[in-house]
């Protein structure tokens, strides 16, 4: 992908799943240096770092829990003075399924902090470096839940991902005149750790039956679209949330 070569990228939530696939895909596309953020799965992050290096890129790890302000502040401090060309705000989670009457204020804050506040504040920290370099690309990871409301117990997660889609448009309008393109991807159901944790095999099979392509997504399906949005091939795409779901939801 032209436009990736020689770039420095930061991918949050990159120890497994979509984030891991994206970090490796960026390295394969020619990124010079990939910063891999992770929270608790160090082994996975180290394996991703090895794969990034095997693609010819350099890399580094940053550990932080982005569901809490100290973790966000740690990442912000680590990247504030860096000149990062590509930012992928992938870190996020449903955290746990809980209905309206089960939801606690603490859980609400944790879901919103992890999925929305962390993306906002890390973007705020990275953009000055992009401005110094005269441009950059930011891709936020939303979810099909932002369009459908999510499944049972996922309402706040869905609301958080809808906020990501709205934030993408606002930041795109603000930053495009300064050479920074902001877009988002909205994955459908992807067969990865997220759904191993939060969905049953029966739920996944029901979802699969509703997908016109007849299969669940893969991490690579999403990562390839993210890399495309970071590349020169997407040079005139700004403020879009690209639905990547095998045809399950057609906007």
What residues are annotated to the active site?
Answer: 157
- Give, as one character, the DSSP assignment of residue 229: H
What backbone torsions phi and psi does residue 24 show, to the nearest 5 degrees? -70, -40
Pair type for strands 86-89 and 58-63: unpaired
With vertex at residue 186, the alpha carbon angle to CA 213 and CA 34, rounded to the nearest 5 degrees, is: 110
| Gap between the Cα atoms of 168 and 163, Å rounded | 8
Three-state SS across 88-117? EECCCCCCCCCCCCCCCHHHHHHHHHHHHH
| Gap between the Cα atoms of 139 and 175, Å rounded | 13
CA distances from 2 to 140, 185, 201, 228 (A): 20, 20, 39, 9
Structure tokens at 71: 């973790």
CA distances from 154 to 30, 57, 209, 214 (A): 37, 37, 21, 24
Q: What is the DSSP string of 144-184?
A: THHHH--STT-HHHHHHHHHHHHHHHHHHHHHGGGTEEEEE
Largest Cα–Cα distance in the chain?
50
């Amino acid at each position: 992908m032209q436009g990736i070569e020689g770039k420095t990228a930061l991918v949050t939530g990159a120890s497994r799943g979509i984030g891991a696939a994206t970090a490796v895909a960026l390295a394969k596309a020619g990124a010079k240096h990939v910063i891999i953020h992770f929270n608790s799965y160090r082994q996975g992050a180290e394996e991703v770092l090895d794969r990034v290096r095997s693609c010819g890129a350099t890399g580094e790890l940053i550990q932080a829990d982005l569901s809490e302000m100290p973790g966000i502040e740690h990442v912000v401090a680590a990247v504030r003075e860096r000149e990062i060309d590509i930012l992928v705000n992938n870190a996020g989670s449903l955290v746990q399924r809980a209905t309206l009457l089960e939801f606690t204020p603490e859980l609400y804050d944790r879901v919103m902090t992890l999925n929305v506040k962390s993306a906002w504040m890390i973007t705020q920290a990275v953009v000055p470096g992009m401005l110094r370099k005269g441009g950059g690309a930011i891709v936020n990871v939303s979810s099909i839940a932002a369009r459908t409301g999510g499944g049972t117990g996922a309402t706040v997660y869905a609301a958080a991902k809808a906020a990501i889609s709205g934030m993408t448009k606002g930041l795109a309008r603000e930053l495009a005149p300064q050479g920074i393109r902001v877009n988002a991807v909205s994955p459908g159901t992807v067969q990865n750790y997220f759904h191993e944790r939060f969905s049953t095999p029966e739920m996944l099979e029901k979802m699969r039956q509703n997908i016109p392509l007849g299969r669940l997504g893969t991490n690579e399906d999403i990562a390839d679209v993210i890399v495309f949005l970071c590349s020169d091939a997407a040079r005139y795409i700004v403020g879009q949330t690209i639905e990547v779901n095998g045809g399950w939801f057609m906007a």
